[in-house]
Structures are given as C-alpha cells and as structure tokens.
A and B are shown apart, each in its own frame.
Chain A
Amino acid sequence: MSELLDVFIGESRENLESASQELLAIQSSGPASERVDKIFRDLHTIKGSSDLFDIKPLTRLAHAAEDLLDSVRSNEVTYSDDIGDLLLEALDQISIWFDELEVGSQDLEKWKPISTQLSAQLRHFIDPTTPSNIEQSNNAVNNEGVVADAQALSEEQIALLASFGENAELQLLCKATGSHCYFINYTPDEGCFFRGEDPINVAAALPGLKALEIEIPELAEDADIYNCFTSIKALGAASEDAVKQHMAYYEGQYSYVIFSIKALQAACVNKIQKCVKHIDDNTLTQAINEKDIEQVHASAGLLLASLNFDDSENASANKAVLSVLSSIDDVSFLDNESRDDESLSADINTNVSSEVGLSKANETGDSKGEASKPKTLALHERAMLKQQLTLLNSDNYKSELMFPSIAGLVGNILGASFENEDALAVAISNALDEETIQEQANDEQAQQTSNDATAEATQPANAPEPTDDIAAPVKAERQAVKMLKVDQSKIDYLMDIVGELTVAKNSLPYLAKQAEEEGGGKKLSKQIKAHFSIVNRLTESLQSAVLQIRMVPVSHVFQRYPRLVRDLARKLDKKIELCMQGEDTEFDKNLIESLSEPLIHLLRNSIDHGIETPAERLAAGKPEVGRIDLIATPLDDSVIIEIRDDGKGIDPHKIKLLAFQKGVISETQLETLDDNEALQLIFAAGFSTSEQVSDLSGRGVGMDAVKTMVSQAGGTIEMQSEVGVGSTFKLLLPQTMSVNRVMMFEVNDQMFGVGMDAVVETVKVPAADIQRIRNEHVLVIREKLIPLCDLRVALGFEQAGERQEHSILVVSTPQGEFGLIIDKFHEGIDVIQKPLEGVLAGYAHFSGTALLGDGRVLLIINVQEVLAKCL
C-alpha cells in the first residue's frame, strides 16, 4: 500500500511540476489552449489517482481545479491572472499535502477546511453568481442532517419524497437498510459527456439505490445527441459520506438531502397505523402489539401474498405497509405512537400495488424474506411458474385472453386462486422466492460483505468517467514499460562496482610487468597486455553505460526556476522574464542536484540586485520587462551554464573599493587589479555588495558559498559584467564526476595524481634552462614565460640534490599556465576519485584520493590550492 502511495506521490509530483510550469508559461505568454489542456490533464490524473487513497480533501481540491480548467478550456470562463494565482495556490497546497503524506503526518481534519475554502474559491470563478457555492450547499446539507436527526422530516423533505410518487416514503422505508436515506437531484450539465462523464450509470451505481427517476425531454430530430439532456433523481439508503464520495467528481452538478431512517419511520407512522387498521388481521395486529417481530414478518408476508386484492384506493398504500411490516426489524416505533389506538377493527381486503408487485416479480433475488407458503416446488413446477411469469410480463400479454389460463395453471401448482395479474405475479414470485431464498440469501450475504468491504476501493473503478480513468492507468503502465524507475542507491552501488572493476583492471599492467621481471617471459607479459586491452575496452563501455544511466537532462533542475523567478519578481514588484535554453543538456544526477542550490542563489542575485525596477528600467531606456537567460551548453566533457541578466550590471570600481574596505584586498591590489579580476572578488569570502540586506539575498555569504559548492562539484565559476548592460555568470562543470582520468607522477618516491584536464604538456628541461626572475623560478617554453613551482617544496618534502634535468608538468589554471617541478612522470590512469574524509578533509591541496591497481593510495593534487601556497 505504501509503495502504491509512493508511486502515486512521485508521479503526481511530476504532474504538479508540469502543471505549474504550464501555468507559468500561460502567465508569460497567454492562455494557449494546449497549455490549458495539459494542465487539465495533469490535474485530472492527480484527481483520478488520489481517489485510490483516503484523501478526499485533496481529491476534492484537485477536482475543483480541474473543473475550473475545464471551463477555461471550453471558453466559459476567461483566463485571468487571478485564476492562475489561485490555481498555483491550489497546486502548492496539494504539494504541501504530498509532503505530509510522504512522512505520514497528514491530518485530514485539518485538510478539510482548507480544501473546502480553496475549492469554493475555484468554483467561484466558474460560477460567480453563487459565491462559495460548496460551502452553502454543505451548510444546507448539514442543517438538514440536523433536522433529520431530530426525528422528523421537514415539509420540504416530505414534498421531495412525495414527488417520487404516492407512498414513496413507505416504499423507501420497506427497502431501506442502514441508518440514513438520501435524495439526490442530479442535473448533469450539457457538456458533461465531453468530460467523460456518464450520469445515468453513475446514478445507477449509487450506493444503496432504491429508486431512480430519469427525465429526458423530447428530442428534436436535429438535437445534438452528445449534449446531455438527462436529469436524474434518486432515492436510496446510504450514509452521507458514501453518497458524497460517490458523487465526488460531480461537485456542483447535484444537490442532495440526507435524512435518518428514524425520521422516515416517524413520517410513516400515521399511514402504517391507518393501513393496519384497514387490513385488520388479528394475527398481525396482535403481533404488532406484542412486538413479536417474527410474527409481524410472517403475518404481513402472508397477507401480502395471499389476500385477495381489488382496486380500492388504499391498495398501494396497504401493499406498501405490508411490505414494510414484513421486513422491518423493529416495530416499537409504531407501538409507542399507537398505544391509544389499539382497537383495530373493520374487515378490509388488502390490495397489491401493481408497480411494486411487478418490480419484485422481476427480481428473483429478493431477500426480504416474505414468509409465505411453506409448499415446496418440484423443478418442473418452478420452470412452469417462471414461464408464466415471463408471459405475464411480456409485451404480448393480453389480459382478457391469457389471464384465465395462467391463473388456472398457477392456481393448480400453488393451490390458490387469483383475481388479477398482479396478485398472480406476486404469488408466483413469492413461491419462487421461497425456493431460492435460502441459497440466495447466503450468496447475497457473502456478496454484500465483500461489496461493503470493497465499496470504497472500487469506487473510482465502477463510477465516474470510465473512459478517461481507465485510459490513464493504461497510459501509466505503458510508460512504466519504457521507463524504469530505479532507486538511485542501486545505480550508485553499480557505479561503485564499476569503480572497483576499473581498479582491478588497472592491476593487469602491473601483473604484466611482474611476469616479465620474474621470469615469466615476454610472451606471458604480452598476453596479459593483450587481455588487458580487451578488459579495458569492456570496462570503459560498462563505465560509460552506467554513467549514461545517471545522466538526466538539466531541465530537472531548470524547471523549478520559472516559479521561483515569478514569485520573487512579484515580491519585489519587478517584471522579469526567464528564458531557458539547452534544457535537454545531460548531466550526472548527483551533479545536477548539487547544482540546484548555487543556481538558485545566482538567480536570486540577478533578480534582487541585477534587474532594476520597471520604473528604473524605463528611465534607462530599457524594456520594462527584465530578462534573465539560463543557458546550458555542452562543451566536450563539460557543461557550461550561463546565467545572464540585462540588469544594471556591476561596477568593478565599486567592488574594488568595497573589497578594500572589508579587508578582502590590500591597497596594492586595489591599484593593480584589472576590472575583470575585480569582478571575481564578489566570490571572495565575506563579501556582499548589497548595501541593504534583504531576505532574498545579500547576506554576504552568497557568492562565496556558490563558489564553494561549484568547486566541490569540480567546476569553476566566473562572472562578467558591464555597467548598465547586465551581468553574466558562467559555470563550467564536468558532465560526470565519477570517473576521472588522472596523470600520475612521482615526487620523493611517492605517487601523486593530477587531473588530466589540467595538464597542458610534460617537458624535460636541462637545469640550466630554468631562470630566476625576482626570486621566482621561471621557464621559457616556446617564447612563453611559465612560472615554476617545486612540488617538493610545496608538499613539504626535502629538497632534492642538484640535477641535470628537471621534469616539468605544465598545467593550466584560470590564472594561466604554471609548471610543476616533479621527479618522474608516470602514465595516465582512470580512477574513481573519492573525496578526503575526516581529518584529511582539511587538507585543501589534495582534492581526493584514488585506489591504484596494486593497492596503493594515490593522492590527487588540487593544482590551484598548491599553486596558491607555492607562489
């Protein structure tokens, strides 16, 4: 169950996400119908799936939102920003509820008022003439519930019942089970078919349905049959909750009244008493007085089946009363009221109403338990009776011709005589019922229990909008086949194994070397090397396959931003348009997630500090609406993410001054830094350019934190800005971070690594070529001056003795190219780089470690940090 809920929440979140995106798109570019459609479908899916769970307030809210969108879609309601805002609010609310559901802290009682209120607001847009439509109808219902519990029906309710025909209350009473009855007036609107609704089937599936009235006007020949003209009234016995749940999708199209059985009984007392008097059967009267339920059932049933009937005015009432009495479980309510009326007299025959009689006759599954003739029927007799019954009910039945023969036949079998068709029909059906009653009662009971138990669960399946709702799961299933959702930890595990395989693979060359050295001969060594190249190739493809699995489009992160930008812009009274490009650029999942935070920060900065207020913009001759570009571009194995705004830009001089004031730079730096370098100062720790700290950004930690996060992800960040034109932040990030190719080298007999992408070239130069300029070692390679850094010094080893030749590793950094003096070059190698943990985490000049094929640990040097120390 919880797995189902997880899937539901996961999928619904995607729906929510896409719905909010479309909403935002609508807000920026106007309500395109396909967008509205998309949102509608998203909400429809959420609503549909939510019904699987006991979260009615959510379902109701989603439904209200869906209805509103439907009206927008059909142009009944014009889209406005207010509607958009309200819908977004509703989506937010649903999202909050998902959060609660996820941790299991949901409180449906608290949800209810929120849901009711929001739904009412949503529906207010659909039909402004009835503001807070739902609240009213709910109140009305509640009130009436109270009245009903007060044991009496209001005039209005009696009138409603009366509209269902004479003695409707008696008929309902005799059929009703449970504690409450309902009356529903369901008037589907004309366009309901287009929403996949199926009103008659919905009504026919109402819980505890007892009576149905379907009104359809005369249809002209050119009527549009795809409009719904039907109006439905229904009576039944079920609790308010059950009814509301059943009709949950048709909010606004129906009204209902709930009343208790007790109230119904009270309303019937007079009629029953009158009829009992009328019928005057001693056994019955006595049984009622003695409250002998079984006896009441038996005698009423007997009377019902056996009495002679004529067309007296009380016929249907008497019949209904007897039906009630034959099935009721408690007659005390009668007794209480009728104490003063005990002398029942008069000899009157009971009559049977044709309507009820026949409806019974058709339903062989009658479980009411009329006690009638204890005669057992042979099989052929039953068959004959059935035939007669069919004949009786058939179209071709002609009373004057056929009745005598049927009556005679039935009379022979049952040993009774009949005066009219109805009595005959009842007698036949009773006789048949008697036979089947036992088995069917059992069956029905079993069915009943299972029905009750599954009633809630099956609700969405058998009731509303069958076409759409069935289509949705099917679609989901199809997607499930194509897309495999896998727990990320499993992929991570796979990644780890691949990593270890890489390490194991790396040990093969060592093995080859060993074989060669220890007498295995060249042949063995060669074979091992050949195998190595095969294993190497396979490992590499395996690696890239696994990496591919982890790749997700950058839109995963990007899609959250339009909302953010919109909200912030509103808060600050700015007008901002967010343009995104390259959303399908792929990225490692982990990287993307670590990216989300810094990007939000940068966006906030652009919105808060970059883009000016509309007035300022107009004054500066710019368009009123500011523009922020968010662009992702793949570049080899990296991705560049740019955040560009057309705001006021950043003044490098101001930055320099501020940095100086805050002690970030020295006075000499103040003089020497060029504009570009000055701009990068905003990434320095403890720097904030905003004079006023707002709640959005400008706490002085922002850019510093951004830079840290980006470099942790193995990326770099830089910014460009032009005063009055705008600023651009450029993030360069590796596409994957799992496997790195490093160049190994040796310093003081220890192995170190450096990221291959930083390596420019490796050179061996005679010691004489190294020159000294102002206490710094430099080397000129191809007329280029390259500062040198002795790694022995930088890493704290002893100085090596004088050498003839130096090995120099030329690396590139954002500050230019540098040369690292090392002892010996080794090969390049693929490693899974692990970050330093524990106490080692403090050593910034190593970016991580990796395990070598022979089991040694390789320290990977963070070039920039080392150089910063060394120079």
Chain B
Amino acid sequence: MPVAYKKKVAVMTGHCEIEEAETLFAWLNEETSRQVNLKALTSAHTAVYQVLLAKKPKVSVWPEADALFWLTEMMQRHQSRVWFE
C-alpha cells in the first residue's frame, strides 16, 4: 500500500502510482491541517507530485531518498525552482 491514510497523516511509501493522486487530493482537500509523511517515498507519478506541489501540505517527515531532494526543496521553501548538483 503506497499511501496509508492515518488520522492526520498520509504515509507515502515507495513509488506512488498515478492512481494514488485522486485519493490523496481528495483526502488533503477534506481538511487543510492534514499532513504527509514522505519518509519512505522513493518516487511518484507526476500527478502525485502535482498534488503535493499544488496543495503544499505540511510535511511531517521529509523524504530520505536523495532523488527527491528537489521535492523537499520545492515544498520546504515554497519555491518552484531547484538547482541540482
């Protein structure tokens, strides 16, 4: 299960396919205070990123995966641009 919905936090794990986007979007829309835990997220479909970047929910744990460093940058700093090393 790539996304586990708890009371306040959605825990995203591994690769999140496009199918997750709709549920996640609806879930985040239900209450603005809801958070996401990206600790174990390794990658996701654009549609999922799109939800995360558009909604910018509070993130309880940032992704550990190096590959998602740009996502952290964008969500943490509310900016749309990231430089890679």
Name A residues whose Cβ lies closer than 8 Å to a Cβ of B: 164-165, 171, 175, 188, 193, 197-201, 204, 209-219, 221, 223, 225-226, 228-230, 355-356, 359-360, 362-363, 365-366, 368, 395
Q: Are A214 and B74 in contact (CB under 8 A)?
A: yes
Do the beta carbons of A228 and B73 come within 8 Å of each other? Answer: no
Q: How far is the CA of A164 from the CA of B83 in the complex (A)?
A: 10
Give, as a whole number of angstroms, the nearest-CB distance from A444 to chain B: 11
Whether the Cβ atoms of B83 and A356 lie closer than 8 Å is yes
Q: Is B21 interfacial (CB 8 A cutoff)?
A: yes
Cα–Cα, bound, A201→B70 (Å) = 11
Which residues on the A side are within 8 Å of B72 (C-beta)?
362
Min Cβ gap A183→B in Å is: 13
Residues of A within 8 A of B22 (CB): 225-226
Shortest Cβ distance from A210 into B: residue: B84
Asked whether, in the complex, the Cβ of B85 is within 8 Å of the Cβ of A198, the reply is no
Q: Do the beta carbons of A212 and B21 come within 8 Å of each other?
A: no
Chain B residues contacting A223 (CB-CB under 8 Å) are: 25
Q: Is B82 an interface residue (CB 8 A)?
A: yes
List which B51-85 residues lie within 8 A (CB) of chain A. 51, 53-55, 59, 62, 66-67, 69-70, 72-74, 76, 80-85
- Judging by beta carbons under 8 Å apart, are B46 and A201 in contact? yes
Give the distance in Å from the alpha carbon of A817 to the alpha carbon of B49 in the complex. 83
Please, how many residues of chain B have a CB less than 8 angstroms from a CB on the other chain?
Answer: 31
Q: List 10 A-B contacts (CB under 8 A).
A: A193-B47, A200-B46, A210-B83, A211-B83, A213-B82, A217-B54, A228-B46, A228-B50, A363-B69, A365-B66
CB pair A212–B81 under 8 Å, yes or no, is yes
Which of A193, A217, A363 is the one whose CB lies under 8 Å from B85? A363
Give the 3 A-B CB pairs with smallest separation, nearest first: A363-B85, A200-B46, A219-B54
Bound together, the chains give a CA A200 to CA B49 distance in angstroms of 8
Contact B47 A216 (CB under 8 A): no
A201 and B45 alpha carbons, distance in the complex (Å):
7
Roughly how many angstroms separate A212 CA and B53 CA in the complex, as a whole number? 14
* Cβ distance A818 to chain B, nearest Cβ, rounded Å: 76
Contacts of B53 in A (CB 8 A): 214, 216, 230
Q: Once bound together, how far apart are the Cα atoms of A198 and B81, in whole Å?
A: 19
Contacts of A362 in B (CB 8 A): 69, 72
- Kindly name the residue among B25, B46, B85 whose own CB sees the greatest number of chain A CB atoms within 10 A: B46
A-B contacts besides A171-B83, A175-B84, 7 pairs, CB < 8 Å: A198-B46, A200-B49, A211-B82, A213-B81, A230-B49, A362-B69, A365-B66
Residues of A within 8 A of B55 (CB): 219
Known contacts: A201-B43, A204-B70. The answer to whether A216 contacts B84 by CB under 8 A is no
By secondary structure, the B interface counts as helix
Bound form: Cα–Cα A657–B69 in Å: 90
Does B18 sit within 8 A of A, measured CB to CB? Answer: yes
With A175-B83, A211-B81, A215-B80: A198-B45 Cβ-Cβ less than 8 Å: yes
A167 vs B70: C-alpha distance when bound (angstroms): 19
A164 CB contacts on chain B under 8 angstroms: 81
B1-58 CB contacts (< 8 Å) to partner A: 18, 21-22, 25, 29, 43, 45-47, 49-51, 53-55
In angstroms, how far is the closest chain A Cβ from the Cβ of B9?
14
Decide: A228 near B85, CB < 8 A? Known: A217-B54, A363-B69.
no
Q: Is the CB of B82 within 8 A of A225?
A: no
Q: Which residues of B contact A219 (CB under 8 A)?
A: 25, 50-51, 54-55
| Cα-based distance from A837 to B48 in the complex (angstroms) | 72
Residue of A at shortest CB range from B85? A363
Do the beta carbons of B21 and A226 come within 8 Å of each other? yes
Are B69 and A225 neighbours in the complex by a CB distance under 8 Å?
A: no
Chain A min CB distance to B29 (Å): 5
Collect the chain B residues with CB atoms within 8 Å of residue A216's CB. 50, 53-54, 80
Expressed in whole angstroms, the minimum distance between the Cβ of A829 and any Cβ of chain B is 66
> Knowing A200-B46, A230-B46 touch, does A225 contact B83 (C-beta < 8 A)?
no
Q: Which of B50, B51, B76 contacts A395 (CB 8 A)?
A: B76
Contact B47 A226 (CB under 8 A): yes
A209 to B81, alpha carbons, bound, how many Å? Answer: 13
Please, how many angstroms separate the alpha-carbon atoms of A164 and B76 in the complex?
19
Q: Which of A199, A212, A366 is the one whose CB lies under 8 Å from B46?
A: A199
The distance from the CB of B52 to the nearest CB of chain A, in whole angstroms, is 9
Would you call A225 and B84 a contact (CB within 8 A)? no
Q: Once the chains bind, are A228 and B76 in contact (CB under 8 Å)? A: no
Assembly CA distance A362 to B83 (angstroms) = 12
A228 to B45 Cα, complex, angstroms: 11
Check B54 against A366 for contact (C-beta < 8 Å): no
**Shortest Cβ distance from B46 into A: residue:** A200
- For B56, the closest partner residue in chain A by CB is A216
Q: From residue B76, how far is it (CB to closest CB) to chain A in Å?
A: 7
Q: In the complex, A368 Cα to B83 Cα: how many Å?
A: 15
Given contacts A193-B18, A201-B45, A219-B55, contact A225 B81 (CB under 8 A): no
Q: Which residues of B contact A365 (CB under 8 A)?
A: 66, 85
CB A471 to nearest CB in B, in angstroms, measures 13
Which residues from chain A contact B67 at a C-beta distance below 8 Å?
Answer: 204
**A363 to B68 alpha-carbon distance, docked (Å):** 11
A229 touches B85 (CB 8 A): no
Which residue on A lies nearest to B49, using beta carbons? A200
Q: Report A428 CB to chain B, min CB distance, Å.
A: 16
B62 to chain A, nearest CB (A): 8
Shortest C-beta distance, B22 to chain A (Å), equals 5
Contact status A359-B47, CB under 8 Å: no
Asked whether A359 lies within 8 Å of B76 as measured between CB atoms, the reply is no
Chain A: CB-nearest residue to B70: A212
Q: Which residue of B lies closest to A394 (CB)?
A: B62
C-alpha gap A226/B21 in the complex (Å): 8
User: Across the two chains, which residue of chain A brings its CB closest to B23?
Assistant: A225
Partner of B29, one of A212, A221, A356: A221
Q: In the complex, A165 Cα to B77 Cα: how many Å?
A: 15
**Complex contacts, B54 vs chain A, CB 8 Å:** 216-219, 229
Taken together as a complex, chains A and B put the C-alpha atoms of A395 and B75 apart, in Å, by 11
Residues of A within 8 A of B85 (CB): 175, 359-360, 363, 365-366, 368
In the assembled complex, the Cα of A359 lies from the Cα of B79 at a distance in Å of 13
B45 touches A225 (CB 8 A): no
Hey, which chain A residues are within 8 Å of B80, CB to CB? 213-216
Report Cα–Cα, A229/B50, bound state, in Å: 8
If A204-B70, A216-B53 touch, does A359 touch B46 (CB 8 Å cutoff)? no
* A218 CA / B82 CA spacing, docked (Å): 19
How far is A169 from B73 in the complex, measured between Cα atoms in Å?
20
Bound: A359/B22 CA distance, A: 31
Residues in B neighbouring A193, C-beta threshold 8 A: 18, 45-47
**B contact residues around A213 at 8 Å (CB):** 80-82
Q: Which residues of A contact B83 (CB under 8 A)?
A: 171, 175, 210-211, 355-356, 359
CA distance A104 to B65 in the complex (A): 45
Q: Which residues of B are found within 8 Å of A359, using beta-carbon distances?
A: 69, 73, 82-85
Q: Look across to chain A and name the residue whose beta carbon is closest to the beta carbon of B81.
A: A213
On whether the beta carbons of A225 and B70 are closer than 8 Å, the reply is no
Complex formed: what's the CA distance from A120 to B80 in Å?
34
CB nearest neighbor in B for A466: B45
- Chain A positions within 8 Å of B76 at CB level: 395
Q: Which residues of B contact A229 (CB under 8 A)?
A: 50, 54
Q: Are B84 and A209 in contact (CB under 8 A)?
A: yes
A359 vs B66: C-alpha distance in the bound complex, in angstroms? 12
Bound-state CA distance A213–B69 (Å) is 13
Complex: how many Å from CA A218 to CA B45? 19
Output the residue of A193, A198, A212, A225 with the most chain B CB within 10 A: A225
Complex: A17 Cα to B31 Cα, angstroms: 54
List the B residue with the shortest CB-CB distance to A163: B81
